[in-house]
Amino acid sequence: MGAAEYAMSLGSRPQRPLFIVGTGRCGSTLLSEMIRLHPRVLSVSEWFAVLGEMRALEDKHVDACVFWDMLTLATRDAAELLARHPKLPELRAPERLAARGNWRGIAPILLVPLPHLDIHPRAALRALHEHIEPLSSRTLSEWHVTAFSFLAHRYAKTMWVERSGGSLAYADAFCRLWSNARYIHIYRDGVACSRSMHKHPYFQVRVTRALARSPLPIAQCLQNCPPIEQFGVYWSAVVTRGLAVLRRCAREDVLHVSYERLLSEPTSVLRRIQRFLEGTTQADEWVEAAKGCIRLSGWTAGGLESTERLRRACRIGMSELARIETDLAA
């Protein structure tokens, strides 16, 4: 049974692709945790991040074996990063697998996506393999939708949404591969985002490579972490380019969500998200359950000089976000 047939078996037409995008360290993990509690929406977390977005979002035709290898064979980058930082808080790999320390031997989708959905992720992996193995070749974008649709059916959901940290940086790839996609864009104050990125190994690598404009080795990236204001420059660039992409979409296909407002006004923000997901369908029980995911935590301010440099570095991106705030208030 294909993706379309799975959707029809649940009593609905095949859905339009739906992605949560953000700069990273912006609250998207919290939002994906909230949506995981939704009775009708499948929350796919870090799918493209663990596969390696550059290879996972290529526009090419492949057979089932090639796609399965992508889902189950770790990239060298991922293995090297996890060997140095095996305690990343996002990881959900089964303990017995993680304890072996052989990150190249763990299927990427067992690092986060399947454990996010199931307490028995390896059973889900086997079921997904049984579904994918006999299918005919197709484009990678079609394979991803096939997998998401199968998982939605497996967990009795009527729709899916994928969220990978930092995916606003490659929103143009989403638009190229899925011209009818819809987006929830979650954003956060640039200084707070940049400070959090500066402490996170994944973003230390991304920012170092972005500045070098070269895929430097993981070890070199982690040894030569840029000064904190460079994370602000990176954040501002991602916001500016990403919002330029989203502005090309129909206005009704993009929902902008403030992380700060999600924390301070969760009921109203979650109801906006629910309307975007399902129109007039009510989900009051989900709203109440989702609010329980909120765990407030602060960040420690650095020196005034560092903060001022960061503010300057984030200025352009913050101006772009101010335009969103103005539109929302109108």
pLDDT (tens digit per residue) in 58-68: 999 999 999 99
List beta partners, residue 43: 161
pLDDT number for residue 213 = 94
In the prediction, which pLDDT does 87 show? 87
Query: Where do the domains of the chain lie?
Result: 3-189+253-282
pLDDT at 116: 95
Q: What percent of the chain has pLDDT over 90?
A: 82
CB atoms within 10 A of CB 187: 28
Binning pLDDT at 50, 70 and 90, where does residue 299 land? very low
Please name the residue ranges forming H helices in 247-303: 259-264, 266-278, 284-291
* CB-CB contact of 188 with 27 (8 Å): yes
Specify which residues 45 forms β-bridges with: 163
Q: What's the CATH code, domain 3-189+253-282?
A: 3.40.50
Please list, in sequence order, all residues whose beta carbon lies within 8 angstroms of the beta carbon of residue 324, skipping any fewer than 6 positions away: 187, 243, 256
Q: Are 216 and 209 in contact (CB under 8 A)?
A: yes
Do 286 and 39 contact (CB within 8 A), yes or no? yes
pTM to 2 decimal places: 0.92
- CA gap 40, 282 in Å, rounded: 11
Query: Which of 111-125, 275-289, 305-319 is least confident?
Result: 305-319
pLDDT at residue 37, rounded to an integer: 98
